[in-house]
Amino acid sequence: MQVQADDDHKIFLSTTPATRRDRATALAVVGISSILFAFVVPFAGMPLTPVPAFVASYQSALAVNDLITAILLFSQFSISRSWALLLLASGYLFTAAAALAHALTFPGLFAPSGLFHAGPQTTVWLYMIWHGGFPLLVLAYALLKDRDGGPRIQGSAVRAILTSAIVVGVTIAAVVWVVTGGHDILPTLLSDGHYTPVLIGVVSAILLCCFAALLVLWFKRPHTLIDVWLMVVLCAWLFDIALSAMVNVARFDLGFYVGRIYGLFAASFVLTVLLVDNVALQAKLSRLLQSLRRQAASDRDHYTERERLFSAVVESSNDAIITKTLDATITGWNRAAERLFGFTAAEAVGQRIDIIVPPDRRAEVRDILDRAGRGEAIEQHETLRLHRDGRPVEVSLGISPIRSASGQIVGVSKTARDIGERKRAQQALNQEIEERRRIFETSQDLILVTDTKGNFVQVSPSSMTILGYTPAEMIGHSAVKFIHPDDLDRTREEMRAARRGRQMRNFETRYVHKDGRDVTLTWMGTWSEPVRRHFFVGRDLTEKQAAEAQYRQAQKMEAVGQLTGGIAHDFNNILTVITGTIGILADAVADRPELEAIAKMIDEAAERGGQLTKHLLAFARKQPLQPREIDVNALVLEAVKLLRPTLGEQIQIESLLAEDAWTALVDPNQLTTAILNLALNARDAMPAGGSLAIETKNTYLDEAYADMHAEVTPGNYVMLAVSDTGQGIAAKDIERVFDPFFTTKEIGKGTGLGLSMVYGLVKQSNGHIKIYSEEGHGTTVKLYLPRAFGLDQGAGEMLAFSPLEGGHESILVVEDDALVRKYVITQIHSLGYSTLEAANAREALDLIDANAAINLLFTDVIMPGSMNGRLLADEALRRRPSLKVLFTSGYTENAIVHHGRLDAGVRLLAKPYRKPELARMIRMALDN
């Protein structure tokens, strides 16, 4: 049980906050007093029978009241040590002393003219000094006090009280001497029973002091309980002065008597409150003592139970617990010590500890006792001790000094644990670990250990040879960073199968080498439930597969080369004959239109055959290129001039060219042909007309993007994009569009070699090509052409190496392509954000409804189903107006804006994007 002490502010009247009830009571007292005062004022001068005994009784009661009040206030001051409280107590002591002096000098009480040779003005002056001194001290109290009682006295409280009593006594004595011995030199206050102007001035000054004290107390908030009743006292004090010295006529009239009664009441208010407060404090102390007694009883029971439990713990401990004095005499011996050393407690207690110490270890015991005697604790000290039968016992000791209640070290507590079996087991384990470590370090295969989250815990040194990474570069990282994206799902399935208790079979997985190339490994792995670890052994198949692939590629290229060379040779021979004779034939039939038309058809067919030969050579990357540094913008503008009449008026062509586009290293003629081929394909995809956008942009393909596309070399590229608003390409055909002779056009309307030629040109130029298409939405083909050397670093490259800014917000990623979705989530996680993922709009809306903490919706524009990215964003904003939105798409931004799928100004991140671009766009979307 805990005893809670009340706040110190609630112990004393000088700091106890006044309640509403206290204020109401005080106000009622003042109201009643005011009513009585108003009732008495008209009759204040009514003469009454003189009763000198009334004065004696009044002065005595007043002096006793004020003295008791002063003593109670001094007692509170002795604890609080407040200057303000000391002055207030001194004020009550002053009024008590002044009342006593006034009674002694009052005419007719103890002498006809009063004691101390009092004159006719003595008692009047004493009354005025008495009634003026008290409000001055109350005013000083009000000025010094604050919420905590005011400034504190630093010295002795008793000395301060004695000093105050002496000062008050000396002051009263001096006043009495002045008003008696110097009676004749004092101004006259009362003449023939009438007030003189001097008296009126003195009374006015006293009233001002009272009002000043009253006003300062009123405005010095918060009010304490004593403040409220002091204001009541001052009101009664004012009524006393008014009735006794202003509205009355002479002594022993109605005003004289009632004024004294008011003065007596004024002295009683604070005393009454102090007495009530003391009674309440005594009751509180009584309750506190009862609580302390109950607490003490509870503590005794608690410590008794703790001692019993401690003894039970010592006896039931598996470790030997021994206590002994500093001279090595055994004082405690538990059951575990009996089992460990063979001696019973009765046999060991009282004996020296030497009974279990080998002779050559006794100096060690002496040293341990000396260190414990100096207060030192010793942990896990391994040594030898003796069993009763003489055999050695290997133990680990923990030694602590035992202190008495005064803190003096009186003995030593020792725990002893048998470590013999543990040492033998540790030795066997160390040998097994060393054997496995040697196998682990010398293995030519890759040995990996991962935790439940797929993070590497151990990696064999062969990782440097197989993957190019040191073990330190892989440990602590997720396997996802090293496994080829296309093989992630299959690897996870194998790991899940192992965790379900199935023996893992051999499987193949591609890892990404540090230099970017794929490394195929065949794996055997298993799951250990006790340690919750996956164990894998992988053998590198790269050399074997490379040899097989090289052989197959050599055979394929040989066949393609032979086919291409044979076709080109034979076809050119045929075309030579055809083109050489077609002119002669055309001249011969010039007068016969029907035969001339046939000759023209043969000539056009020969021309198409020549183009077919060029396309085949381009796909086989055998065409003779003449790459040079070219201005891509200028080449596009020239190509557009050719396209406008070719495509027709129903196709609107837009050139969206970057003003700062770099120059590229490429064959200009072949690039022009590629643009024309892409434009013609776009025209065929828009039979009813549409929009064709040709765009250029500087870009930097970083290592992260290169990891996703093994054929890409990180660096600066000029991106050339051709976008249309046509029918789009079916998802099942996307992977085949670059195959030779593959076409989705009707028979007779395409050779199937256009995109193959573009693909061959880009690859032969060390570039990169990417196609994005959705049925019903159009197609974008992006060509990444290597930047020509010798130029300054551009904005894209600077952005790639600029500091990345991440955050801690929550982002919902919506992407139907699982591989892209996982790649994006990995990049966003690396920036510090938390993520949620959805494969379609319905899943995304469910997550938005269930998670109020989502800050950003990052969604693909084109998605399968009835709701695309734009509709998803509209619905999400309807449900969550504060949600931020960032779109992404394989189409270029300009193409999408002009194709009517997004409004201008909407934030869009075009695929492919680099990590810096992703970080920048996310922060822009969140901070806008």
Residues 195-217 have pLDDT tens digits of: 678 877 888 888 888 888 888 88
Residue among 135, 144, 149 at smallest CA distance from 92:
135
Residue among 331, 329, 334 at smallest CA distance from 311:
334
Comparison of pLDDT for 350 and 22, the residue scoring more = 350
Mean pLDDT for all residues in the chain: 77
Cα separation, 718 vs 697, whole angstroms = 6
Comparison of pLDDT for 297 and 899, the residue scoring more = 297
pLDDT higher than threshold 90 for residue 618: no
Per-residue model confidence (pLDDT) at position 569? 44
pLDDT higher than threshold 70 for residue 92: yes
Q: Is the Cβ–Cβ distance between 58 and 260 less than 8 Å?
A: yes
Per-residue model confidence (pLDDT) at position 794? 43
Q: Is the Cβ–Cβ distance between 320 and 334 less than 8 Å?
A: yes
Comparison of pLDDT for 112 and 698, the residue scoring more = 698
Confidence of residue 681 (pLDDT cuts 50, 70, 90): confident
232-236, 395-399, 484-488, 587-591: lowest mean pLDDT where? 587-591
Q: Is the Cβ–Cβ distance between 534 and 527 less than 8 Å?
A: yes
pLDDT higher than threshold 80 for residue 509: yes
For residue 258, the number of C-alpha atoms closer than 13 Å in the C-beta half-sphere is 26
Cα separation, 361 vs 99, whole angstroms = 90
Cα separation, 526 vs 495, whole angstroms = 8
Q: How far out from the chain centre does Cα 862 lie? A: 36
pLDDT higher than threshold 50 for residue 744: yes
The domain made up of 443-540 has a fold known as: Beta-Lactamase (3.30.450)
Confidence of residue 898 (pLDDT cuts 50, 70, 90): low
Angle at 75 between CA 71 and CA 80, to 5 degrees: 140
How far CA 334 is from CA of 320, 346, 396, 693, in Å, comes to: 6, 10, 17, 91
Per-residue model confidence (pLDDT) at position 796? 42
Q: Is the Cβ–Cβ distance between 752 and 742 less than 8 Å?
A: yes
Give the residue-averaged pLDDT of 155-170.
Answer: 88
Confidence of residue 791 (pLDDT cuts 50, 70, 90): very low
Give the residue-averaged pLDDT of 501-527.
Answer: 77
Per-residue model confidence (pLDDT) at position 230? 79
Q: Which of 38-52, 163-177, 766-780, 844-858 has the highest mean pLDDT?
A: 844-858
Cα separation, 95 vs 208, whole angstroms = 18
β-partners of residue 527 are 534
Give the residue-averaged pLDDT of 696-711.
Answer: 83
Tokens standing for 319? 């470790």
Comparison of pLDDT for 758 and 547, the residue scoring more = 758
Mapped onto helix, strand or coil, the DSSP state of residue 720 is: strand
CATH of the domain spanning 803-927: 3.40.50.2300
pLDDT higher than threshold 50 for residue 580: no
Q: Is the Cβ–Cβ distance between 720 and 787 less than 8 Å?
A: no
Element (H, E) at 894: helix 893-898
Tokens standing for 389? 């039968």
Using N-to-C axis directions, what is the helix angle for 754-764 and 668-684, rounded to 10°? 150
Cα separation, 175 vs 169, whole angstroms = 10
Give the residue-averaged pLDDT of 891-909.
Answer: 59
Comparison of pLDDT for 440 and 390, the residue scoring more = 390
Q: Where are the beta strands (DSSP E) in 644-732?
A: 651-656, 663-666, 690-701, 715-724
pLDDT higher than threshold 60 for residue 224: yes
254-258, 555-559, 680-684, 758-762: lowest mean pLDDT where? 555-559
Per-residue model confidence (pLDDT) at position 823? 73
Q: Kindly provide the b/e burial profile for residues 543-578, where b requires at least 16 CB atoms within 10 angstroms of the residue's own CB.
A: eeeeeeeeeeeeeeeeebeeebeeebeebeeebeeb
Q: Is the Cβ–Cβ distance between 466 and 454 less than 8 Å?
A: no
Per-residue model confidence (pLDDT) at position 814? 93
Per-residue model confidence (pLDDT) at position 554? 38
Give the residue-averaged pLDDT of 37-65.
Answer: 69
Residue among 272, 241, 270, 271 at smallest CA distance from 258:
241
16 contacts: CB under 8 Å, gap ≥ 6: 9, 10, 224, 225, 226, 277
- Percent of the chain at pLDDT > 90 equals 7
Give the residue-averaged pLDDT of 505-514.
Answer: 80
Sheet holding 651-656, edge to edge: 651-656, 690-701, 715-724, 778-786, 768-774
Pick the CATH number of 625-795 from 3.10.310.30, 3.40.50.300, 3.30.565.10, 1.10.240.10: 3.30.565.10
* Gyration radius from the chain CA atoms: 54
Cα separation, 92 vs 70, whole angstroms = 5
Query: pLDDT per residue over 687-698, tens digit each?
Result: 888 888 999 999
458-462, 640-644, 887-891: lowest mean pLDDT where? 887-891
DSSP 225: H
Confidence of residue 9 (pLDDT cuts 50, 70, 90): very low
3-state secondary structure 269-331: HHHHHHHHHHHHHHHHHHHHHHHHHHHHHHHHHHHHHHHHHHHHHHHHCCCEEEEECCCCEEE
The domain made up of 317-424 has a fold known as: Beta-Lactamase (3.30.450)
Cα separation, 252 vs 235, whole angstroms = 23
Q: Is the Cβ–Cβ distance between 620 and 760 less than 8 Å?
A: yes
Element (H, E) at 583: helix 542-588
Comparison of pLDDT for 3 and 503, the residue scoring more = 503
Phi, psi at 92, each rounded to 5°: -70, -35
Q: Where are the beta strands (DSSP E) in 392-528?
A: 392-403, 409-418, 446-450, 456-459, 507-512, 518-528
Confidence of residue 621 (pLDDT cuts 50, 70, 90): very low
pLDDT higher than threshold 60 for residue 574: no
229-233, 247-251, 276-280, 719-723: lowest mean pLDDT where? 247-251
Cα separation, 647 vs 687, whole angstroms = 11
pLDDT higher than threshold 90 for residue 70: no
Per-residue model confidence (pLDDT) at position 728? 85
- Percent of the chain at pLDDT > 70 equals 77
Comparison of pLDDT for 545 and 472, the residue scoring more = 472
Amino acid at 668: P
The domain made up of 8-284 has a fold known as: Rhopdopsin 7-helix transmembrane proteins (1.20.1070)
Query: pLDDT per residue over 867-878, tens digit each?
Result: 888 889 989 999
Residue among 341, 544, 527 at smallest CA distance from 448:
527
Per-residue model confidence (pLDDT) at position 467? 83
Confidence of residue 812 (pLDDT cuts 50, 70, 90): very high
Sheet holding 507-512, edge to edge: 456-459, 446-450, 533-540, 518-528, 507-512
pLDDT higher than threshold 90 for residue 14: no
Q: Is the Cβ–Cβ distance between 714 and 701 less than 8 Å?
A: yes
Query: pLDDT per residue over 261-294, tens digit each?
Result: 666 666 566 667 666 666 666 677 777 788 888 8
Q: Is the Cβ–Cβ distance between 705 and 674 less than 8 Å?
A: no
Per-residue model confidence (pLDDT) at position 265? 64
Confidence of residue 36 (pLDDT cuts 50, 70, 90): confident
Give the residue-averaged pLDDT of 893-919.
Answer: 64
Per-residue model confidence (pLDDT) at position 558? 45
Amino acid at 710: A
pLDDT higher than threshold 80 for residue 387: yes
CA-CA-CA-CA torsion for 901, 907, 912, 914, nearest 10 degrees?
180
| DSSP string computed for 587-646 | HHTTT-HHHHHHHHHHHHHHHHHHHHHHHHHHHTT-S----EEEEHHHHHHHHHHHHHHH
Per-residue model confidence (pLDDT) at position 792? 40
pLDDT higher than threshold 90 for residue 858: yes
pLDDT higher than threshold 90 for residue 718: yes
Comparison of pLDDT for 689 and 507, the residue scoring more = 689
Give the residue-averaged pLDDT of 426-455.
Answer: 80
Give the residue-averaged pLDDT of 634-656.
Answer: 84
Cα separation, 164 vs 171, whole angstroms = 10
Q: What sign has the CA pseudo-torsion 47, 53, 55, 58?
A: negative
Per-residue model confidence (pLDDT) at position 622? 46
pLDDT higher than threshold 80 for residue 614: no
